[in-house]
Chain A
Amino acid sequence: MDWTTTQLVGKSLPNGQDVKCRDRESAITKTDQGNAAKDRTIQISICGSTPLLWRSVDIKQSRDEVGVIGTLIGSLARQPRQNNRLGRPLEILKEEARLLLETGEATDVRHPDKSKKVSESGESHLNAVQLYQARLDRSYEEQCSLALEEKKAVLHRVMDEKQNSNEGPERAVRERLCSLEKSFSFPRSAMAVQLCTARAGFSHCPEELAFLAADWPEPRDKHSEARFRVYKDLRRKGFYLTAAGKFGGDYLVYPGDPLRFHAHFIALCMPMDESSPLSDILTIARLGSNVKKTVLLCSPRDPSDSQVEGDVVYSSLQWSGMV
């Protein structure tokens, strides 16, 4: 779980490739090894001030390698008109984005407002359009022949059934089969097309990609620093973390993957030198007891205080009765 030593160089293509059989043609265009390396790093896209992950390989890699869970906020491709299960993009916490950048798992940060507007030359754009059209045409042709094959197979099956049951008009079926090639029509409107979730890459200028991770324009105030340190520490201890706004806290802390386990703690970050009114403590304690979770008050230790940097002090609150 110690991500600081994870090496990226020389890694094989991420497991995400196995989930779906990929189009091997796309490999042809990757002549550059550098491009392939770029492909292995996680690409973070910033919408407004929210970091998003779009590619499924990135989402899987962040979960498997770094333990970044996030929340899916888009419509699910399989069933878009429901809210029980959502699909890509994955919204991640600012702390998670920062962690991905600091550990080098992610080096690309795309900020539509701030990225350099490299205007594509007319020629390269035309080339991109041609490429897209060519793909579409080839797809149509292949699907045409596939449809024809399928139809033939159906007719063959019907013929075999008729043969087995010794019925008469097998000749009619055979005739249909022969005329199929001439009469078969597969209109273009019947073709299946893909509506890509993540950027397809047709009009894709490499220079347009990202800029320094340090450019990410987020104000680093005391509170966000505290949150980041608490996040890192809890992650280091092996817990999985998600946002806990609806529980009145900063993080929900899970002992295992949130897909299978319930959260045990509600973590609340409180800088060491800040004082809070007792009513706030009571509020959060009450809330925690109502949802059957232990409240964790987390305070990063002052760097001057201890030898180990990044140490965090934890206090847990549990409502108990007097016997």
Chain B
Amino acid sequence: MAANDGVPEALQVLLSDELLSPSELFKERSRSHKIPVKGQKEFLPDGSDQQRARLQKSLDEHWTLVAEERVERLGNLVSAEWIPKEKLVKLLSPAGKFWQTMGFSDRGKQCLLPEEALYLMECGSVQVFYKDLPLSIQEGYECLLSPETMTLHQYQVFGHLKRLGYVVNRFDPRDMQSKQLKRKRSQSPGSRLCEKQSATTMEQTTVEGECKGEVQIREPDLGHVAPEQGTTQQTSQDKSMECVANSDGASARNWWTDMSGQAQAAAAQAAAPRWDFSCIVFPDLGSHRANSATLAAPDPSLLPGALEVGECKVAHWLRKLNLKKERLSRRDWERQRERDRYKRDINDDREVRRCRNWMEYLDLMEKRRSQQHKERPAHLWEQKVTPLTHPGQCISHRELLEQISIIPSCDLLEGASRLPWSDKWRICFNVYQPDTVAEFKKSHPGKPYTRLCVCSFDGPVPDLCVIKQLSILSGDVPVTFAVVDHGDISFYCFKEFKLPTDIY
């Protein structure tokens, strides 16, 4: 061959055996496109000739199909070029029918993603060149598939679905981001507090009032935050302080900032009470012993200015109080007697006094209790762990199930946005159904049928955390897991299901 003559030996080219001659290529134009049907399999090899013949026939068919090469009319092929730097394939001739569902325009040029180009190569629609030489399918797999573009497993799933007619494109988490931010904002307590505070001045005073006592926030929204004292409070406190600092009300601000200084110091650990109630005496004015009480003069240091206040005589105040002995109606009197009966000192009880030791006392208590609560056996109700309900307590199934449910049922997406993010699981593809192909628009694909996450049996099974994260990332589109195992692809999806609690 002329082209080879002047070439040094070391650089000689080794052409593949699988290249077809021009006459072979010409003949392939009228190749049959039918695939022979696989016959029924047999159970046991018996060494018979018929079996051997059938096997040979199957094998011959198999090798014919496997060895067949792709032969296409040059005019039907779309030419393209692989650009490794951009990891894209740029079309050199106009796109064909595939342009409706694949490819995109970049600066006026039609482009394909590597996996799309490889799939079209395998279909025989596109011929991709690299440095003026056409890529074989093998070279396509080697160049176009990589950890940066798409892995072999992902491409297998892509190809499998494309061959079935689905429209498959890459999932971009940025498409979902605007929705995600909204969700986050409404759930975070801190930012919500901010919003609330800057709303009205009325809100200021409520918060003000709360700060007078101990350093605790009693706002109902943050109810779940309050019990955890210390840093959580401090941060919300800080936030609210920041917010209030921006609003109107000079006097309120002074009060607030004074408190804040002390609050921060104290709130480092669990908020310690600032008031020592052992020194603060609340005078008893109502009991029969307080007939001639007088209130002591207050400490002058607590009074503003040079005010001085003497002793306070409370006699005339007491006259205003109704100190008459109560006269109860018969019913009230009986009710009070019942209450008093149980209020009596346990030591007044004759039966208790008869007990000589602790053991006897416990027996007495047990006897009384069992008489009182005949349906509640002691071994169930007197232990640390008691039953969740007792017979007759609930009327309907739903009530009963609610009573005894220890783990309340919750939605799949509950708490999902607060989960820590993991990199190992990603959503790879959006999948659209085949019957939508005719109206499919790349610019407005609409809501996908499902989104796919590709994994393999070698890796871990997705746990609830992963399922929650992927579900919330996917929005209202269900997530399907495509598991690739040595060429076999299985699809799994998890569906939320609430157990019925009643017949209605």
Q: CB within 8 Å of B: which residues of A?
A: 16-17, 19-23, 25-26, 28-32, 35, 39, 45, 47-48, 50, 52, 54-57, 59-60, 71-89, 91, 93, 110, 112-113, 121, 124-125, 127-132, 134, 138-139, 142-143, 146-147, 187-206, 242-243, 245-246, 255-257, 259-262
Contacts and interface: CB of A to CB of B under 8 A. Distances in A.
B15 A29 contact: yes
Nearest to A35: B14
A25 B33 CA distance: 28
B124 A193 contact: no
Q: Interface majority SS on A: helix, strand, loop or mixed?
A: mixed
Contact of A245 (B1, B75, B488): B488
A21 B65 contact: no
B488 A199 contact: no
Contacts of A71: 486-488
Given A76-B35, A196-B16, A197-B136, A87 B66 contact: yes
A188 B22 contact: no
A134 B3 contact: yes
A205 B14 CA distance: 8
B138 A22 contact: no
Given A30-B14, A134-B3, 13 more contacts: A20-B20, A25-B15, A56-B67, A88-B137, A189-B73, A192-B28, A192-B71, A193-B77, A195-B121, A196-B136, A197-B70, A204-B15, A257-B55
Interface residues of B, number: 90
A39 B163 CA distance: 33
B435 to A, nearest CB: 16
B25 A139 contact: yes
Contact of B11 (A54, A190, A205): A205
B482 to A, nearest CB: 13
Interface of B: 1-4, 7, 9-26, 28-29, 31-33, 35, 38, 41-45, 51, 54-55, 58-59, 62-75, 77, 119, 121-124, 127, 131-134, 136-139, 141-143, 145-147, 151-153, 156, 159-160, 163-165, 457, 485-488, 490
Given A80-B123, A191-B74, A192-B29, A50 B17 contact: no
Contacts of B151: 48
Nearest to A56: B67
Nearest to B456: A245
Nearest to B486: A243
B73 A198 contact: no
A196 B69 contact: yes
Q: Which of B16, B59, B136, B485 has the most CB of A within 10 A?
A: B16
11 contacts: A23-B20, A29-B1, A73-B156, A74-B159, A77-B69, A81-B163, A192-B29, A192-B72, A195-B77, A199-B136, A260-B54
**When A and B form their complex, which 4 residue pairs have the shortest distance between CB atoms, in order from nearest?**
A189-B75, A245-B485, A71-B487, A243-B486
Given A75-B122, A134-B2, A246 B490 contact: yes
Given A31-B12, A80-B124, A17 B17 contact: yes
Contacts of B44: 255, 261
A196 B163 contact: no
B7 A127 contact: yes
A172 B22 CA distance: 32
A76 B68 CA distance: 9
Contacts of B136: 195-200
B138 A45 contact: yes
Contacts of B124: 77, 80, 195
B77 A75 contact: no
A260 B133 contact: no
A125 B1 CA distance: 17
B4 A131 contact: yes
Contacts of B145: 47-48
B22 A143 contact: yes
Contacts of B28: 192
Given A78-B33, A196-B136, A243-B486, A29 B45 contact: no
B141 A78 contact: no
Contacts of A262: 41-43
Given A35-B14, A195-B70, A205-B11, A243 B485 contact: yes
A189 B79 CA distance: 12
Contact of A139 (B13, B22, B122): B22
Contacts of A190: 73-75
B55 A259 contact: yes
Given A26-B16, A78-B65, A195-B121, A83 B163 contact: yes
A201 B16 contact: yes
Contacts of A26: 15-17, 19
B490 A56 contact: no
Given A127-B7, A147-B26, A195-B72, A91 B33 contact: no
A255 B63 contact: no
B114 to A, nearest CB: 13
A147 B25 CA distance: 12
Given A47-B141, A195-B70, A261-B42, A55 B122 contact: no
A201 B73 contact: no
A37 to B, nearest CB: 12
B133 A128 contact: yes
A201 B153 CA distance: 27
A205 B113 CA distance: 28
Contact of A81 (B14, B65, B123, B139): B123
Contacts of B42: 260-262
Given A54-B138, A201-B16, A23 B21 contact: yes
A245 B488 CA distance: 8
A147 B42 CA distance: 46
Contact of A197 (B13, B119, B138): B138
Contacts of A204: 13-15
A146 B28 CA distance: 13
A129 to B, nearest CB: 5
A195 to B, nearest CB: 4
A197 B152 contact: no
A256 B55 CA distance: 10
Contacts of A77: 65, 68-70, 124
B485 A246 contact: yes
A202 B133 contact: yes
B223 to A, nearest CB: 43
A110 B142 CA distance: 10
A195 B137 contact: yes
A206 B14 CA distance: 8
A80 B163 contact: yes
A45 B142 CA distance: 9
Contact of B1 (A25, A110, A128, A143): A25
B27 to A, nearest CB: 9
A73 B487 contact: yes
A20 to B, nearest CB: 6
A259 B58 contact: yes
Contacts of B59: 257, 259
Contact of A196 (B19, B68, B141): B19
B134 A195 contact: yes
Contact of A201 (B15, B54, B137, B156): B15
A50 B145 CA distance: 12
Given A50-B152, A139-B25, A262-B41, A243 B488 contact: yes
A242 B2 CA distance: 47
